[in-house]
Amino acid sequence: MTSHPLLEQLNDKQRAAVGAPERHMLVLAGAGSGKTRVLVHRIAWLMQELRLSPYSIMAVTFTNKAAAEMRGRVEELMGSSTRAMWIGTFHGLAHRLLRAHYMDVDLPQNFQILDSDDQQRMLKRIMRSLNLDEKRWSPKQAQWFINAKKDEGLRPHHLDGLDFNERTYKEIYDAYQVACDRAGLVDFAELLLRAHELLRDNRIVREHYQRRFRHILVDEFQDTNAIQYAWVKLLSGAGSDKEHENFVTIVGDDDQSIYGWRGAKIENIHQFTLDFPAVETIRLEQNYRSTNTILSAANSVIANNSDRLGKELWTEGGMGEPIDLYAAYNELDEARYISSQIEAWHEQGNALQDVALLYRSNAQSRVLEEALLHSRIPYRIYGGLRFFDRQEVKDALAYLRLLANRDDDAALERVINTPTRGIGARTLDIVREGARQRGTSLWQAARQLATEKVLTGRAANAVLAFIDLIEQLEDETGEYSLGRQVDTVIKSSGLMAMYQAEKGEKAETRVENLKELVNACDNFDQLERVEEEELSPLNGFLAHAALESGDEQADEHQDAVQLMTLHSAKGLEFPLVFMCGVEEGLFPSQQSLDEAGRLAEERRLCYVGMTRAMQKLVISYAEQRRVYGQEKLHTPSRFIAEIPSENVHHVRMQSRRSFSTETPSYGRFHTGASHEAFEESGFQLGQRVRHVKFGEGTVLNYEGSGPQSRIQVNFDDLGSKWLVVAYARLERC
Ligand code: ATP
Ligand code: MG
């Protein structure tokens, strides 16, 4: 058996898992121990050695990117196509099921996916129609409530024993669901829930898939929620009396469970061993990713959590370099330190794509981005600022959604008056009220109210013009290729002209993004195919836009540093990793400080972050940071104190100045300047200042001393400028 090529480059335990006879398996192991690698090799093994068809395999990963990578790796190992294999995220697979069986779940064929943003808008509207006081009831809370219930598999009628608040949220949930169903809209949680109900309630469909998927394999299992677990169970047929049983392999690490706040349950790992018969548990203990220093630091941090399933992790890798710990003056200083380190790394001939900047919250990226831009270091952002999340792109998509489905209320709300076409808030209110009374979609209500002359004069004309526009667009572009269709829609709707008329860099980016959307559509046909179902290209693309994590946003081929939240770094690895903003109140986050469970989850997130690093880890924190417009003093995170001191190298200000020998530029302190001399001038890094002509801005840098001293300010409207302090007459804000 050991001579088989698929078993080469595996250790004994990995080999045992990959080459095991068909059975249920749990691979429980720490970070970087080759869990994902085992999963990939196992899939190839099933097909090559056990002669299973790709058709009978379903693999679930955590992101679309991971799914694409997994498919690529399996095909590489096999040397053949695996198109018939179902591989994707739970959401992606659920979507696929619903598309194939839309009639069985009472959805229109052209149902659309409602993202989180649209969901909130929709809730806002519904709460208004229920006459709920906006100050008292928040759409965000309602959203949490509804999604959490759906993740537990609960419909409004399942909810009882509620207190007053919950009863109101239940009422909102009810009204929201009616509105979604009417409009043919499905939110993310609904994808999972509805697919689950389909499998649970429809015996024919269930048995079809049970017969089909002989093997189900799930990566990152520690982050599955109740409904996802129920899904796996149903598909496997575990606990039912059906004739054939399918085999489930789950891989996971309880120490990397970081989605508890979104309903994920670590207990599912344990539950799996109870619900499934004769589960073989395999533990992997050798880490192949990180240096000994990084690994022992990460192990020490996670050791502070209790209730762990317990795993050993060791590496044959050398000690490697110590972890650099940088105490920054403020977030700007932190960002500039990081970019200078990246420059140094790059100058030594290393690739930028081997560098990751990880942060706790998305808002932290802006300052980092600014520093990278100044240093002309190309970067790419994963998650957060997703291409398909950008305002202008969503506007364009909303037009497309309306073309696909007139009853898509969320889309209509978004664009009926974008660009402005004289349909005011009052008209919209009348339309909403009309829709509510008649139990129709906004589109139908708008049309009826305008033709029945409930709406009159300018309002009626404006509404009818909008309706005409959409109808005409459909007539005109129906036969076009997707790219041309989108191009026409963007132009004829006035969206492009609206953004072109706006001034400034932001508007330019928006116009570029709209153009990029057309590119995305042009490329789409070749890229994304849902194999069994015949979706129109437009519907296929809209689903793709809603589900895809937007990885295409940057030029894939450019060597670029990667920025992402700690959450989205899960499963990935990089030679050089920066973890920034490691401060109490930020990481662990403020909210988590009050709850032991949340704090443990933050610590797991820290473990995930540290174990992404292969060669070198740099941790930084800022003593001062602007949070929501306020300067706050911060102390280093407790997680830093949990790292053994022998693994850490403290980087001091002095060593920062060693970067400062050449001409002054962003990211470098000029020789001769000192913090003290600068502070005597009355300004500080990161401080907000006002200039008579240039307006308000933030102090980024300084150089020189005495009358020659200059200060660099990033003005909110104009960008950054160097000014001579003596003449600039800056005021502190
Ligand atoms: P995580 O918990 O972070 O998801 P993981 O357990 O899934 O990690 P992998 O990503 O599969 O770990 O593997 C970590 C790294 O170690 C990868 O670069 C992988 O190629 C390498 N690796 C795994 N097993 C071996 C092995 N037997 N020999 C050499 N390299 C290996
Ligand atoms: Mg993995």
pLDDT 10s digits, 474-483: 999 988 888 8
pLDDT band at 249 (very low <50, low <70, confident <90, very high): very high
Is 31 assigned a ligand-binding role in the annotation?
yes
Radius of gyration of the chain (CA): 28
The answer to whether 65 touches 90, Cβ cutoff 8 Å, is: no
Write down the pTM of the prediction.
Answer: 0.77
Cis status, amide bond into 588, omega within 30 of 0: yes
| Cα(377)–Cα(666) distance, integer angstroms | 12
pLDDT higher at 31 or 538 = 31
pLDDT tens digits, one per residue of 38-56: 999 999 999 999 999 999 9
Which of 273-277, 610-614, 714-718 reaches the highest mean pLDDT?
Answer: 610-614
- Give the residue-averaged pLDDT of 158-168: 91
* 256 given a catalytic annotation: yes
Using the structure block, give the residue that is written with the tokens 């995930």. Answer: 608
What's the pLDDT at 661? 29
pLDDT band at residue 133 using 50, 70 and 90 as cut-offs = confident
DSSP secondary structure code for residue 205 in this structure: H
Annotated ligand binding at 704? The verdict is no
Cα–Cα dist 536/479, whole Å = 11
Query: Taking residues 602-631, what's their average pLDDT?
Result: 89
Q: Which atom of ligand 1 is nearest to the CA of 33?
A: 6
| Half-sphere CA count of 674, side-chain side, radius 13 A | 4
User: Cβ distance 26 to 2 under 8 Å?
Assistant: no
Number of neighbouring beta carbons within 10 Å of residue 274:
8
The beta strands (E) that lie in 132-255 are given as: 185-187, 215-218, 247-252
Q: pLDDT band at 561, cuts 50/70/90?
A: very high
Residue among 36, 574, 614 whose CB has most ligand 1 atoms within 8 A, to mutate: 36
Which comes out higher in pLDDT, residue 708 or 528?
708
- Give the tokens for residue 106: 């009472």
How far is Cα 290 from Cα 297, in angstroms, rounded to an integer?
11
* Residue 370 confidence class, pLDDT cut points 50, 70, 90: confident
CA–CA dist 310, 278 (Å, integer):
21
**pLDDT tier for residue 354 given thresholds of 50, 70 and 90:** very high
Q: Are 551 and 382 in contact (CB under 8 A)?
A: yes
Q: Is 80 annotated as a binding residue?
A: no
Q: What pLDDT, on the 0 to 100 scale, is given for residue 544?
A: 77
Atom 14 of ligand 1, nearest CA residue: 32
CA distance 653 to 676: 13
Ligand 1 contacts CB of residue 406 (under 6 A): no
Q: Is the Cβ atom of 31 under 6 angstroms away from ligand 1? A: yes
Bridging pattern class, strands 574-579 and 355-359: parallel
Options 612, 616, 668, 710, the catalytic residue = 612
**pLDDT above 50 for 528:** no
Is residue 579's pLDDT more than 90?
A: yes
Q: Do residues 198 and 231 touch, judged by C-beta distance below 8 A?
A: no
* Domains parsed from the chain with CATH numbers: 5-99+192-284 (3.40.50.300), 112-183 (1.10.10.160), 293-386+555-657 (3.40.50.300), 387-548 (1.10.486.10), 675-732 (2.40.10)
Average the pLDDT over 209-214 and give the result: 94
In this structure, which amino acid lies at residue 330? N
- Using DSSP bridges, classify how beta strands 710-715 and 695-703 pair: parallel, antiparallel or unpaired: antiparallel
Are 325 and 67 in contact by the 8 Å Cβ rule? The answer is no
pLDDT tens for each residue of 462-520? 999 999 999 999 999 988 888 899 999 999 999 999 998 887 666 777 887 788 788 77
Q: Is the CB of 35 under 6 A from ligand 1?
A: yes
Confidence of residue 325 (pLDDT cuts 50, 70, 90): very high
| Residue listed under structure tokens 């037009």 | 399
Query: Quick check: is 36 catalytic?
Result: yes
Q: Which residues pair with 215 in a beta bridge?
A: 57, 247
* Mean pLDDT for the stretch of residues 281-310: 94
Q: Are strands 710-715 and 719-724 parallel, antiparallel or unpaired?
A: antiparallel
Largest CA distance in the chain: 88
Instruction: Please work out whether the CB of residue 253 comes within 6 Å of at least one atom of ligand 1.
Output: yes
